[in-house]
Amino acid sequence: MSKSQANWSADGSHIPDINPHTKAKHQILETYLENLIYTLYSKGRRGETTFTFVDGFCGGGMYCDRDNKSEWKGSPLRIIEAIRAGYKKSKREYDLNVKFIFIDNKRDHLACLKNYSMPKAGFGELVNGQPHKFKGEVGNLVEECEFICGEFENLVNEVIFKIDLRKGHSFFFLDPFGWTDVSMQSIRKINDLKRTEILYTYMIDYIKRFVCDRDGKDKDTFNRILDAEEYYQFDNFNTFDRIGGQCYLRNESMRLFRDKGKAKYVFTFSMIPRGDVSVLYYLMHLSQKLTALEVIKESFWQENNLDYQYYFELYGHGFRTADFYEDNQLELKFDVTQNSEYFCLEKLDIHLGRIIRNNQDGIIFRELCHQTMERNPASKEHYTNYINLLRNEKEIEIWRKGEIVKGRKVDLRKSDIIKLTKYKQLSLF
């Protein structure tokens, strides 16, 4: 739900309703951040120990979930819960230092978050701005919250300065109402940080109207804010809602944020109402590291209800709208289908197979991931399963430290080399 449309009272006596697509987005966010902490904090002998999490449009923290006659925790609360869950799961012996920066342009929203939502969620000890130790089994999670009132676009430089002083890894959750609230210049500034990533709501459904407005002032504003003048050059705008048009919009969006936003890796995840092929918006994940891309894709598969969208390359959440639940009286449920797995492996065969064939002397697994991870919905586990399938069919060999790896299933390492066998052509499906 848009934070610019939703309104919270300072004392929590009024909180807005939650929409199904916002619930889906929150579940993805929570799953991803738990996995991110577990991966980066637990990595190697001593992983990353300093993190900064920025919620640029945080709202008041609680929603009314009328479907379940209860309250629904918003993004600030879910971010805190996810970090604690990832920290507890890691079971490391050294401290983890985390700062949360919550930004909103309305003081009542921040007051609701501090005085109502956080105490109700059990986070009352964080509202005074002082560091707090959350004890784990061995080490401590040292948490600190900062609340800033203002427009995110006007606060980017200040936030980046704070992160630069802290060092470590940073994550920005940017969930504005529309594309005018975050400029491409701000995206670039964030991505100039050494270790950062962004999860950004990109309202493609609104953007289509401005792309079609070739000569109007809205088009000029769109191009100025997002540096998009050389993008979305579509000749037949009547086909936007067809499958080809939707794929074009997605690919151009990826190209735009990769080129103009200075993101090394861009992954888009479509939010699609009721199994329609018309995308409401994209969750854009922008990162500089391959590991972050791998973790976000694994998280999407954990919180997913994919179906035929894979076939049309519109992979994403086919979330159910309110009228669906009124008709069927079902709860929000995510279910990965067998067809989605098949289409995912089929797509891997197209992307990976061509590259492996064209590298007769072999290709390093990390390079294979680097070249293809943005082009398909597959997780690292899918990559491993696919390559092991080729290996068991004697299509390829896996080399490690100058020797062929033995065994039924190989847990691939990034330095492993994938080679064609001498006797067979690569062919699958």
> Side chain identity at 286, as an amino acid letter?
L
Per-residue model confidence (pLDDT) at position 322: 34
pLDDT at 54: 98
pLDDT at position 305 = 46
How high is the pLDDT of residue 234?
Answer: 67
CA distance 239 to 392: 43
- List domains and CATH numbers for the chain: 20-336 (3.40.50.150), 339-420 (1.10.10.10)
What are 427's strand-pairing partners? none
Query: Mind listing the pLDDT tens digit for each residue in 76-104?
Result: 999 999 999 999 888 777 889 999 999 99
pLDDT value, residue 325: 32
Angstrom distance (rounded) from CA 74 to CA 89? 22
Q: What is the pLDDT, as a whole number, of residue 220?
A: 81
What integer pLDDT is reported at residue 1 of this predicted model? 40
Closest CA to 232 of 201, 203, 254, 200: 254
Q: Residue 222's CB: how many other CB atoms inside 10 A?
A: 22
pLDDT at 134: 77
Residues of the chain with pLDDT under 70: 1-5, 43-45, 136-138, 205-206, 208-216, 234-244, 273-278, 303-340, 423-429
Residue 93, classed as helix, strand or coil, is coil
Three-class HEC string of 313-380: CCCEECCCCHHHHHHHCCCCCCCCCHHHHHHHHHHHHHHHHHHHHCCCCCEEHHHHHHHHHHHCCCCH
Summarize pLDDT for 204-235 with one digit per residue, the tens: 766 766 666 656 677 788 888 999 888 887 66
Burial environment of residue 243 by CB neighbours within 10 A (0 to 12, 13 to 18, 19 or more): middle
Cα-based distances in Å from 397 to 15, 61, 401: 58, 52, 13
